[in-house]
Structure 1
Amino acid sequence: MFSFLKPAADAKEKVPADKVKSTYTKYQIGAFIAILVGYSGYYVVRQVFTVEQQDIMHVYHFSTSQFGVILSCFGIGYGISKLFMGAFSDKSDSNRYLATGLIVSSILNFLFGTTRNFFVICLLMIVMAAAQGMGAAACQRIIQLWWGKTRRGFVYAVWNTSKSFGSLICVSAIQLAAFLFSHSISMVFFTTGIIGIFMGVIVLIFGNDRPAAVGLPSISEYTGDEVVLDSGKKTNEELTDLNVVQILVRYILKDKLVWAVTLTSMFLYLVHYGVISWIPSYLIQFKGFSPTFAKWLVGIFDLAAIPGIILGGFLSDIFKNRRAAVCAVGVVGVILCLISYLVSNNHAVLVVTLILLSNFMVAPINLVGLIINEVVPKFAVRTSTGFMGFFQYIVGETAATAMIGFLVEKFGWGMNITVLFVAAGFALLLLLYIMSTEKKLEKA
């Protein structure tokens, strides 16, 4: 298993110079298919609990706070997993790493369909989170290795839409399984598990590790791509002899900009999961929506974010990589939408608000993930992703699930929105700092 995940060796035969461009394009298409299909698959298997939360709570007799604990088990496990799996995956074959995490997650989905025990489900959620931690870091490293900085914002944005497609596929698969198997929750887990395995196989077929493994020059040689570190030093290195701890200390823990981006992402995740994790319960219990429509809104919420994700990435490239400024505009939009989400009772207005909120919110989440990758060397990309993911999920998603679950039971749904306002405010302040730092680095 571990030999399967080792990085591919450099190809002995190099691609002829006159064929480099066409060959690069061919492999970029394959890499794009792999990351888009692969990460969609991760969301197909992980969103079942969010979409089916009302039915699971009813059939399994779980309270809102218990369900919040289940979701937070994923957040805690995923945060730890992203830190360690992200760091160690810098030494692996990115494409195989991506496929392995998806296939293992899909197999775990079958196990969810065999139990209703609260504690067993919590344990399985932690194991699922560990496997899920292999996904985003692998995709982000693939993007860093196969595309130069001038196109990376757009590619990164389009890749991030895979979350939306994955959520929609998940909702569709759940509705199909419910129709075919008389609303059996077990069959819902089995159906999404089968779909996930199939998508993992597609990743293995289309993807590759890195350009050098197929005889191509590195992206740095091909496009002149470089990274400007917090110190002002420029680097284009892809591999290093430094161990994981040395990379973590030297290029992550000692970098103030990395910390600022990480904390920004943490607050943005709190807002994101504070909304999406509770869409069905909030709209059914507090706004009078029907259960079926509320479920579909989970998929619609993610799918509706596609224009914002792509536009945000495109604008951040057009405005000379001013990614933090684009993020700040998005967060202002988030704050305005949260006001409407709290005070309005009109169903049409709430649906429109969710669509706008998804665009304003997911675009900054997408871009801070790219910012963190662009301020460290390529050999530290997945370590930086894992470090940020640790805070995103250990603090951000846990606060958005377990903490909000308890607060809602005690104080009502208004407390949920209050927490989200505070988190959005902190994110905006941090983005202003990042904007000023980006300008200094550009002059370095």
Structure 2
Amino acid sequence: MEKQLTKHATGTGYEKEQPEKFHKFLARQRSVFIVAFVGYISAYLVRNNFKLMSGDMIDLYGWDKLNVSFLLTCFTITYGLGKFFMGMLADRISLRKLFAGALGISAIICILIGFSSKFALIAILLIICGLIQGALAPSSQAMLANYFPNKTRGAAIAGWNISQNIGSALLPLIISGLGFIAPNNILLTFLVPGLLVLIISFFLWRFGGDNPEKEGLDSLRKMYGKDGEPNVEEEVDKTMPYWQLIKKYVFFNPGILMVGLINAALYFVRFGIEDWMPIYLGHTAGFQSWQYLTAISVLEWIAVPGSLFFAWLAVKFPNKMTIVGAIGLFVMSGLVFVYENISYSGPRDYIFLLIISGLLGTLIYGPQLIVNILTLNFVPLKVAGTALGFVGLMAYLIGNLGSNWLMPILADHLSWTTSYFVVAGLAFLSGVGYLLLAKRERKAIKA
């Protein structure tokens, strides 16, 4: 126990003055991380079901691609809005109840979609699902922000970030397994993951956390001193109304506005590559479906150790993640052109594609997780949920929708090279944006 406390020493002597209380805090810190991590894996098990089954639903329900595009847009827009409004809610109510409750409702909606065949009904359910799912990222990250001090908050967020890769990779495996058991049974692909996540949500309701003070523990500020919470420009006025807080520290915060723009650009890069891989690699680069599907899977799986590498960097350089992110994005900018020039002429090209896909996964998700770290480091904990939601709103309404529409328009009217030139350019500009935030990051987090 003493060894563990020394490892997590606060620098204020708190761990020696209150050893039992501090040990209890560390135990809760670990359990809260597990709740946030497992919960966000579960979020993806009831989020992408429609996207993965859309081809089968076209065949079964007589839809066309525009029907699917409309339904995906319904989710994308409301998910972006949901991140913002639910992020605001996360600052006002119990994080534990919001996170577990939103996950449970998402599971129920997923099950209902499985029982639905009417286009309009599925559209309504996806709109509701987007709004509810929007609560999960801000509330889970805000939980971590409330239990991890400055020097380990970045590592906690970086570790949490790989949950989305694991969830994205697990759901296709679950659906594939169900396909062997009951071929062409669309209901099971929504029902089984939905029931599983519904059960998980009950455990998360029990073991989630809001903040240490609500559990009879001391605040991060008391335990770690100034190293406990983000160092904003001045001491936060605790009597300031909530709306004035978010106006000052979110809407008119230059650091948050810059982070939001970077996040929008990175989401364009992410979805501009991932969502268009099947069409680009299959229709233009000459790869077969099993080859590009494997490449997509490799991108997600390699992103896991890649993100862990960035998590390790967050521990080593807690106030230099902007520099790390910028370097990664400059490399990514060049790698996009390598990817765009791949075409299939033999097995070597397939192996090369897998290598490039793995590198892309690392350089997409690694620099992107830094957005969440910076967001939490640039605002007081009281408005962490709103800040995360605001940055997420910009990502989906500008970045994701932009890639959905601009990529195919440029490819059809000019060329795929033009589309990927935009992707590479945004990656490079995002790296420049990170460098512009380096001084602010060092001020917020003292090494």
In structure 1, stretches of 5+ residues that fail to align are 1-15
CA distance in 2, matches of 1:177, 1:411: 41
Residues 167 and 303 in structure 1, CA contact (< 8 A), matched pair in contact too: no
Change (3 A) 1:100 1:441: closer
Does 2:167 correspond to 1:169? no
Change (3 A) 1:128 1:281: farther
Deviates more, 1:285-294 or 1:242-251: 285-294
The residue number in structure 2 matching 1:383 is 386
Kindly report which structure 2 residues correspond to 1:74-85, keeping only aligned pairs within 5 A, or say none.
Answer: 74-85=75-86
CA distance in 1, matches of 2:425, 2:140: 31
Change (3 A) 1:251 1:398: same
Does 2:336 correspond to 1:333? no
Change (3 A) 1:347 1:317: same
Give per-residue Cα distances to partners, 1:83-125, cap 9 Å, x unaligned.
Answer: 1110121111112211111111111112222334444433322
Letter in 1 for 2:216: G
Letter in 2 for 1:126: I
Using the size of structure 2 for normalisation, the TM-score is 0.87
CA distance in 2, matches of 1:423, 1:116: 39
The residue number in structure 2 matching 1:227 is 230
Identity %: 25
Change (3 A) 1:191 1:296: farther
Change (3 A) 1:320 1:131: closer
Residues 157 and 309 in structure 1, CA contact (< 8 A), matched pair in contact too: yes
Letter in 2 for 1:169: L
The residue number in structure 2 matching 1:368 is 371
The residue number in structure 1 matching 2:437 is 434
Give per-residue Cα distances to partners, 1:337-359, cap 9 Å, x unaligned.
Answer: 21122110222211211110110
The residue number in structure 2 matching 1:114 is 115
CA distance in 1, matches of 2:201, 2:283: 37
Letter in 1 for 2:254: K
Does 2:122 correspond to 1:124? no
CA distance in 2, matches of 1:105, 1:299: 24
The residue number in structure 2 matching 1:399 is 402
Residues 376 and 384 in structure 1, CA contact (< 8 A), matched pair in contact too: yes
The residue number in structure 2 matching 1:301 is 299
Residues 272 and 403 in structure 2, CA contact (< 8 A), matched pair in contact too: yes
Change (3 A) 1:409 1:59: farther
What is the SS of the residue equivalent to 2:361?
Answer: helix
Matched residues, number: 423
Structure 1 residue 248: deviation in Å? 2.0
The residue number in structure 2 matching 1:272 is 270
Residues 75 and 129 in structure 2, CA contact (< 8 A), matched pair in contact too: yes
Structure 1 residue 41: deviation in Å? 0.7
CA distance in 1, matches of 2:220, 2:24: 13
Letter in 2 for 1:420: V
CA distance in 2, matches of 1:436, 1:356: 28
Using the size of structure 1 for normalisation, the TM-score is 0.87
Structure 1 residue 42: deviation in Å? 0.8
Give per-residue Cα distances to partners, 1:227-275, cap 9 Å, x unaligned.
Answer: 222xx3255x8xx554442222111122111111110011001111222
Change (3 A) 1:270 1:85: same
What is the SS of the residue equivalent to 1:77?
Answer: helix
The residue number in structure 2 matching 1:46 is 47
Give per-residue Cα distances to partners, 1:332-387, cap 9 Å, x unaligned.
Answer: 12212211221102222112111101101111111111101111101010110011
What is the SS of the residue equivalent to 1:91?
Answer: coil
The residue number in structure 2 matching 1:318 is 316
What is the SS of the residue equivalent to 1:228?
Answer: coil
Change (3 A) 1:426 1:120: farther
Change (3 A) 1:298 1:118: farther
In structure 2, stretches of 5+ residues that fail to align are 1-16, 344-348
Deviates more, 1:258-267 or 1:276-285: 276-285
Alignment root-mean-square deviation, CA: 2.5
